[in-house]
């Protein structure tokens, strides 16, 4: 699909018309007789009139994205080669609808895609610098979201830590980023026993990925941001093995790490005046004679000891060492965010479409929620408290890797990570539990079944607002 901006009407196979607020303005009788009501995800194609009417329940950004995605799917089911739409405002939401709604994951389908390339013409009142910028930025962000979707949807057989590292190298080359890939020797030398333990039973060696973006030319970085991602290319649960039906889709446990790669991929297109570090712990959690065990005590890079009570609470063990690495290597941080498909409890708490936002800084958490909503993602804060903190105590080590209560699992996981945030960074840290939206089994709005690219758009929106 090619998106083109134009300032005049183009004659195409079909014109897309969004029917907003259920107010039908043309061909009223015909649409009424066809029982068209203009609800979300409702559309009707009138080929003789070369019109595609799509319901758009409100005038808000997400209604537009959903309506445009509905139109794209309808057009993709035809052999049309072109379509036209007139846009008065909110251009970026239309671009999102086209680019994100057009995504399909066909890597493992044997039948080749023989559909014809489609040209979409978006008419705007004028194509000035601002319009062009809004258009190009939206396309770049959507491309990154779709790249993350591809990564996360790819099977663990085809996407393991070394492949994740290779993808990071490619992203760095394409975007002029600095890139460091650190292997297990580095982890041993730097006492990263927590991350090391998780990957021990895998035939794939763990990798620590570190990408750096610095603004180009004369642009001075105004802020320094660190993004840390959980990159579990597969989570079997380890010796605390997941039951079969809970293991399905655990290829998505790399969603946080992939989001970090996606953000770093988009950032140079946006040319923002921020220094951004992307750090990913790429690890596979497996079983075997060399697997780490419940009862082991691990020592993280900052010297803190962790009693393992459940090897399925592995993401926090990887993140613990990655957070220590980040704060040792990078000084004078303004923001440090981590992204992780960390807990099933978060999905239970806020539902599968919403990111859980945690940390010590309420104001910053609220800003993230607002950025998420502005970008088309959903987010809700989950507050820490002293009582839940006590449930992480261990009799023999500094802390346990799971809580002693079965309630509040998203928050206790977040509070576990807090042990690895240095005092000076406490207020700068945000933990995003993306376990729900990173991967949803069935399609929702303009998101396909499977990976959605959660975390990318909300973060880029936050960065743009700085
Ligand atoms: N990767 C899972 C969390 C998860 C669950 C992500 C469902 C996406 C969908 C994580 O490593 C995990 O297994 N967490 C455990 C923690 C428990 C052992 C304290 C969980 O949520 O059950
Ligand atoms: Zn797990
Ligand atoms: Zn996991």
Q: Which of 312, 316, 408 to mutate to test the pocket of ligand 1 (most atoms within 8 A of CB)?
A: 312
Q: Which of 74, 149, 316, 428 is catalytic?
A: 316
Helical (H) or strand (E) element with 340:
strand 335-340
Within this chain, do residues 31 and 157 fall inside the same structural domain, yes or no?
no
Is 188 part of any domain? yes
- Give the residues across from 82 on adjacent strands: 119
CA of 342 to the centre of ligand 2 (A): 8
Cα(84)–Cα(136) distance, rounded to whole angstroms? 18
Within this chain, do residues 88 and 235 fall inside the same structural domain, yes or no?
no
Within this chain, do residues 84 and 144 fall inside the same structural domain, yes or no?
no
Is 132 part of any domain? no
Within this chain, do residues 202 and 310 fall inside the same structural domain, yes or no?
yes
Ligand 1 atom with minimal separation from the 314 CA: 11
Please list every protein residue whose CB sits less than 6 Å from any atom of ligand 1. 235, 253, 310, 312-315, 341-345, 347, 402, 409, 435
Is 182 part of any domain? yes
- Give the residues across from 429 on adjacent strands: 336
Check which CATH number belongs to the domain holding 80 and give it: 3.40.220.10
Within this chain, do residues 185 and 164 fall inside the same structural domain, yes or no?
yes
Within this chain, do residues 360 and 429 fall inside the same structural domain, yes or no?
yes
> Which of 91, 126, 161 is where one domain is finished?
126
Is 40 part of any domain? yes
**Residue 116 pLDDT:** 85
What residues contact 408, with CB distance under 8 A and at least 6 apart? 345, 388
Query: What interhelical angle do 315-329 and 409-418 show, nearest 10?
Result: 30
Cα(132)–Cα(6) distance, rounded to whole angstroms? 11
Within this chain, do residues 91 and 152 fall inside the same structural domain, yes or no?
no
CA of 190 to the centre of ligand 1 (A): 27
Calculate the average pLDDT of the chain. 97
What residues contact 339, with CB distance under 8 A and at least 6 apart? 227, 228, 229, 230, 255, 256, 257, 259, 260, 432, 434, 455
pLDDT band at 113 (very low <50, low <70, confident <90, very high): confident
Cα(381)–Cα(411) distance, rounded to whole angstroms? 10
> Which of 63, 95, 126 is where one domain is finished?
126
pLDDT tens digits for 186-195? Answer: 999 999 999 9
pLDDT band at 99 (very low <50, low <70, confident <90, very high): very high
Within this chain, do residues 120 and 160 fall inside the same structural domain, yes or no?
no
Q: Which of 242, 309, 389, 464 is catalytic?
A: 242
Q: Which of 248, 253, 308, 344 to mutate to test the pocket of ligand 1 (most atoms within 8 A of CB)?
A: 344
Within this chain, do residues 213 and 262 fall inside the same structural domain, yes or no?
yes
> Which of 62, 97, 126 is where one domain is finished?
126
Scored b (16 or more CB within 10 A) or e, 146-165 reads bbbbbbbbbebeebbbbbbb
Is 377 part of any domain? yes
Within this chain, do residues 387 and 251 fall inside the same structural domain, yes or no?
yes
CA of 326 to the centre of ligand 1 (A): 24
Q: What is the mean pLDDT of residues 373-380?
A: 97
The number of the ligand nearest the C-alpha atom of 416 reads 1
Q: State the alpha helices, DSSP H only, in 77-175.
A: 91-101, 129-153, 161-175
SS3 372: helix
Ligand 1 atom with minimal separation from the 345 CA: 21
Cα(381)–Cα(243) distance, rounded to whole angstroms? 30
115: containing domain: 2-126
Check which CATH number belongs to the domain holding 328 and give it: 3.40.630.10
pLDDT band at 87 (very low <50, low <70, confident <90, very high): very high
Is 81 part of any domain? yes
Q: Residue 210 pLDDT > 90, yes or no? A: yes
Is 131 part of any domain? no
Residue nearest to atom 5 of ligand 1 (CA): 344
Between 108-117, 189-198, 308-317, 448-457, the lowest mean confidence (pLDDT) is in: 108-117
Pairwise pLDDT comparison (219 vs 5), residue with the higher score:
5
pLDDT band at 112 (very low <50, low <70, confident <90, very high): confident
Is 155 part of any domain? yes
Cα(442)–Cα(36) distance, rounded to whole angstroms? 25
Q: Is 224 a catalytic residue?
A: no
Between 109-113, 224-228, 237-241, 374-378, the lowest mean confidence (pLDDT) is in: 109-113
Residue 290, token pair as written in the block? 């060399």
Cα(209)–Cα(182) distance, rounded to whole angstroms? 6
Within this chain, do residues 115 and 171 fall inside the same structural domain, yes or no?
no
- Count of domains forming the chain: 2
**Residue 347 pLDDT:** 98
The number of the ligand nearest the C-alpha atom of 238 reads 2
Q: Residue 114 pLDDT > 80, yes or no? A: no
> What percent of the chain shows pLDDT beyond 70?
100
Q: What is the mean pLDDT of residues 119-144?
A: 97
Cα(248)–Cα(277) distance, rounded to whole angstroms? 32
Ligand 1 atom with minimal separation from the 403 CA: 19
Q: Residue 296 pLDDT > 90, yes or no? A: yes
pLDDT band at 217 (very low <50, low <70, confident <90, very high): confident
Within this chain, do residues 300 and 404 fall inside the same structural domain, yes or no?
yes
């Amino acid at each position: 699909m090619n998106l083109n901006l134009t300032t005049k009407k183009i004659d195409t196979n079909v014109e897309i018309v969004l029917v907003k607020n259920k107010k039908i303005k043309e061909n009223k009788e015909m649409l009424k007789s066809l029982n068209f009501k203009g609800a979300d995800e409702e559309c009707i194609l009138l080929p003789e009139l070369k019109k595609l009417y799509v319901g758009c329940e409100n005038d808000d950004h997400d209604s537009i994205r959903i309506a445009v995605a509905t139109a794209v799917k309808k057009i993709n089911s035809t052999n049309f080669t072109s379509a036209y739409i007139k846009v008065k405002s909110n251009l970026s939401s239309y671009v999102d609808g086209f680019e994100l709604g057009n995504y399909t994951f066909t890597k493992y389908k044997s039948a080749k895609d023989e559909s014809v390339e489609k040209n979409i013409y978006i008419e705007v009142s004028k194509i000035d610098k601002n319009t062009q910028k809004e258009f190009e930025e939206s396309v770049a962000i959507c491309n990154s979201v779709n790249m993350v979707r591809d990564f996360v949807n790819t099977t663990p057989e085809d996407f393991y830590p070394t492949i994740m590292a290779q993808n990071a190298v490619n992203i760095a080359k394409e975007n002029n980023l600095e890139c460091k890939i650190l292997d297990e020797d580095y982890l041993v030398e730097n006492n990263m026993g927590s991350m090391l333990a998780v990957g021990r039973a895998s035939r794939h060696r763990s990798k620590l990925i570190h990408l750096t973006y610095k603004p180009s030319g004369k642009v001075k970085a105004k802020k320094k941001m660190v993004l840390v991602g959980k990159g579990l290319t597969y989570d079997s649960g380890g010796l605390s093995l997941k039951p079969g039906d809970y293991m399905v889709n655990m290829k998505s446990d790399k969603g946080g790490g992939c989001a970090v790669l996606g953000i770093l991929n988009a950032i140079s297109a946006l040319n923002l005046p921020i220094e951004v570090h992307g750090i990913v712990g790429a690890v596979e959690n497996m079983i075997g004679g060399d697997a780490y065990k419940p009862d082991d005590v691990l020592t993280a890079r900052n010297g803190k000891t962790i009693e393992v009570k459940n090897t399925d609470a592995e993401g926090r063990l990887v993140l613990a060492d990655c957070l220590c690495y980040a704060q040792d290597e990078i000084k004078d941080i303004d923001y440090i965010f981590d992204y992780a498909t960390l807990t099933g409890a978060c999905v239970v708490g806020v539902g599968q479409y919403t990111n859980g936002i945690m940390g010590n800084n309420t104001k910053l958490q609220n800003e993230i929620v607002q950025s998420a909503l502005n970008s088309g993602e959903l987010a809700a804060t989950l507050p820490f408290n002293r009582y839940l903190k006590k449930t992480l105590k261990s009799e023999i080590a500094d802390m346990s890797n799971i809580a002693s209560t079965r309630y509040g699992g998203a928050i206790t996981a977040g509070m576990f990570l807090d042990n690895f945030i240095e005092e000076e960074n406490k207020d700068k840290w945000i933990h995003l539990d993306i376990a729900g939206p990173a991967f949803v089994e069935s399609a929702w709005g303009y998101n396909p079944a499977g990976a959605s690219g959660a975390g990318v758009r909300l973060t880029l929106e936050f960065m743009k607002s700085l």
